Structure 1
Amino acid sequence: MQVLFIVNEKAGHGKGKKVWRHLQQHLTMDYEVAYTEYEGHGQELAKNWAQDAETEKLIVIVGGDGTIHEVVSGIVHNKFIVIGVVRAGSGNDFARYFTTFNNAFQIESYIQKETTNLPMDVGAVQFGDQQHEIFVNNSGVGFDAFVTKRINKSRLKFYLNKIGLGKLSYAAAVVRGLFSFRCFDVTIRTDYQEWKFKQAWFVAMSNQPYFGGGMKISPSSKPNDGQVEITIVHGISRLKLLLVFVTVFFEKHTKFKEITFLQGNQFNIFVHANNIDCHTDGNYIGEIKDGTRIHCAVQRKAWQVISKGQ
């Protein structure tokens, strides 16, 4: 089996480089390696390497959720490519649910054994007239994207990563953002039903349970059930929202009446406010305007991940 390592040395503010150097020292098999050099490069590298595949190939990603998002975007619906990950990011939400490699021995054992890989869904989201984006973990509109934008600009994340506490950067940004974010109204529709929510904080679209560095925001989400799960937090005070973010680590937030969960294979979401932030897999997308249609759907069995027992 051909193997390509796609390495983001800047993941986790330099953690990717350290993880790769350690891993490389213990690899004895034949492999190729490519390094990401700019935003979106992971998608290009994966697409170019995979496009002529006629037999099974393995891409091992050394990076975080953003790099995983890019690489899967590049190989989606390619039946010959299998994805493995060595986690090296800050939040590592992918690794909290999906099987990952921990060391070189596991990777080489996987290559040597005949294994059954697992087909997984992706979420697909389109913001207005923009080209649709896929998401492996989740996509969001509102406060979670607002926080994501500020994390990506924050020096605090850099210092927390240096001492191994990078996941706390999300929690810190949540507390800071509570006092400056403005809520919005939102309408959500399917072919058969409509919901209206006043004073929404965010709408999270999930393909797996975790976001924000370990918060189990959507406990029922499964990436192979043909469904996308929507979490809407609405009509809640700032102080109570802070309590929600504390309880979400323990799945107690599901008891709050201000949190609504929806499940289906596609949704149309309309935000009634201007300049609302959006993200996919923690990658900041930009702002949308009042009335913009956000179409969210699921694409069945769109990629393959290594199975457990490696």
Structure 2
Amino acid sequence: MPSNPHFYIILNQVAGTGQGAHVWPKIKAQLNQKKIQYDLQLSRYAGHTYQLAYQFAKFKYHDQLLLIIGGDGTLNQALNGLYNAHRGDIPIAYIPCGSGNDFARGVGISHDPIKALEQILAASTPTEIDLGYYYDAIKHDHGYFVNNVGIGFDANVVSTTNHSRNKYLLNRLHLGKLAYVSSLIKVFMHQDAFDVLVHAGPNYHHFKHGFLVTTTNHPYFGGGVPIMPSATVNNHQLDLIVIEKLNPFFFCYLFIMMLCGRHTRYRAVHHFEGPELTVQTRTLEFGQMDGEELGSRTFDVHFSVQSQAFWLNRE
């Protein structure tokens, strides 16, 4: 950590249904106590974090440390803002206060905001951590992700939950996971199997009954579910898991095994790993990136790995 750090802070107050606003006074008190300089910017609407990070990278960066306080979606927007300003070299510090916090779980950042700040302040040099990069040849769009990109079941759950009338109320009551449980049941009954073509290394793999197709940067998705227990953020590889559609009883059993990290041994579960992966679908399927909806569409997505510097002491 520089001897006199100066933070440029982007705060998402509504992250985690208001958790961002709740933790900021504690962070502010610690920064003031340690006489650390900072500039504060509030992310006020969807896409605002992207704009703030882009403007910071283009016009305001003078050896300041970019500190993001928010959820995984906030971090995703900040990273994409930096990279679209061609400043992926700018290190990022992160204090998680979202509803899922899968990235923090995957890289070893404390969920306690004060401890997360201590991890940042204890760092003397940035730590390189893998990010995922995708390019969709059909829509010609691209982006960076910290957690995962999902096609099919998990993306459909994200979309169904986001548009649920009960989501906001349940989040206010700190029962947000119930909204996902309700969506899981509803989506399972309506999500059809679909054709998936996977290109991993020199080989192509065709699945006629794809159901859940997730490319991940670390073990977790959905708020702590270990979708791929062996994945790690420092091996310069991405992991792709394809789960074929099953009958309801075996799917429930497999989901329980997934919670225990023991699902990958079953025949309906297929795992691929590599620095580059490609996924193609022929039918309209829901997609999600770090919990943000990509819409319903066909996909021809090429994945690769990019390193990003984070101010973080992981010891």
Q: Distance in 2 between matches of 1:96 and 1:104?
A: 16
Query: What is the CA deviation profile of residues 250-271 of structure 1, one whole-angstrom value per residue up to 9, with x for unaligned ones?
Result: 1021222100000011122111
Q: Could you tell me which residue of structure 1 aligns to residue 176 of structure 2? A: 166
Q: 2:304 aligns with which of 294, 297, 305?
A: 297
CA gap 1:172/1:25 in 2 versus in 1, 3 angstroms: farther
Q: What runs of 5+ residues in structure 1 fail to find an aligned partner?
A: none
Q: Distance in 1 between matches of 2:7 and 2:305?
A: 28
For the Cα contact (< 8 Å) 2:209–2:244, is it kept in 1?
yes
- 2:31 counterpart SS class: coil
Q: Distance in 2 between matches of 1:52 and 1:24?
A: 25
Counterparts in 2 of 1:158-237, with a 5 A limit? 158-190=168-200, 192-237=202-247
1:134 is matched by which residue type in structure 2?
Y
Q: Could you tell me which residue of structure 1 aligns to residue 272 of structure 2? A: 262
Q: 2:37 aligns with which of 30, 35, 39?
A: 30
Q: Distance in 2 between matches of 1:257 and 1:109?
A: 41
For the Cα contact (< 8 Å) 2:120–2:313, is it kept in 1?
no
2:76 is matched by which residue type in structure 1?
H
CA gap 1:33/1:241 in 2 versus in 1, 3 angstroms: same
CA gap 1:99/1:84 in 2 versus in 1, 3 angstroms: farther
CA gap 1:54/1:35 in 2 versus in 1, 3 angstroms: closer
Q: How far off its partner does 1:123 sit?
A: 0.9
Q: Could you tell me which residue of structure 2 aligns to residue 308 of structure 1? A: 314
Point out the more displaced range, 278-287 or 75-84: 75-84
For the Cα contact (< 8 Å) 1:200–1:235, is it kept in 2?
yes
2:126 is matched by which residue type in structure 1?
N
Q: Distance in 2 between matches of 1:126 and 1:280?
A: 12
TM-score by length of 1: 0.89
Q: Could you tell me which residue of structure 2 aligns to residue 69 of structure 1? A: 76
Q: Distance in 1 between matches of 2:119 and 2:221?
A: 30
For the Cα contact (< 8 Å) 1:79–1:304, is it kept in 2?
no
- 1:178 counterpart SS class: helix
TM-score by length of 2: 0.88
Q: How far off its partner does 1:36 sit?
A: 1.1
Q: Distance in 2 between matches of 1:105 and 1:186?
A: 42
Q: What runs of 5+ residues in structure 2 fail to find an aligned partner?
A: none
Q: How far off its partner does 1:183 sit?
A: 1.4
1:306 is matched by which residue type in structure 2?
L
What RMSD over aligned residues (CA atoms) do the two structures have, in Å? Answer: 2.3
Q: 2:255 aligns with which of 222, 236, 245?
A: 245
- 2:235 counterpart SS class: coil
Q: Distance in 1 between matches of 2:119 and 2:235?
A: 29
Taking only the aligned residue pairs, the percentage that are identical comes to: 29
1:117 counterpart = 2:123: no
Q: How far off its partner does 1:155 sit?
A: 3.5
Point out the more displaced range, 154-163 or 133-142: 154-163
Q: Distance in 2 between matches of 1:262 and 1:114?
A: 34
1:130 counterpart = 2:140: yes
Aligned residues: 304
Q: How far off its partner does 1:79 sit?
A: 6.0
Point out the more displaced range, 204-213 or 27-36: 27-36
Q: Distance in 1 between matches of 2:245 and 2:119?
A: 51
Q: 1:10 aligns with which of 3, 8, 14?
A: 14
- 1:231 counterpart SS class: strand
Q: Distance in 2 between matches of 1:203 and 1:270?
A: 10
Counterparts in 2 of 1:281-296, with a 5 A limit? 281-289=290-298, 292-296=299-303
Q: Distance in 1 between matches of 2:89 and 2:191?
A: 44
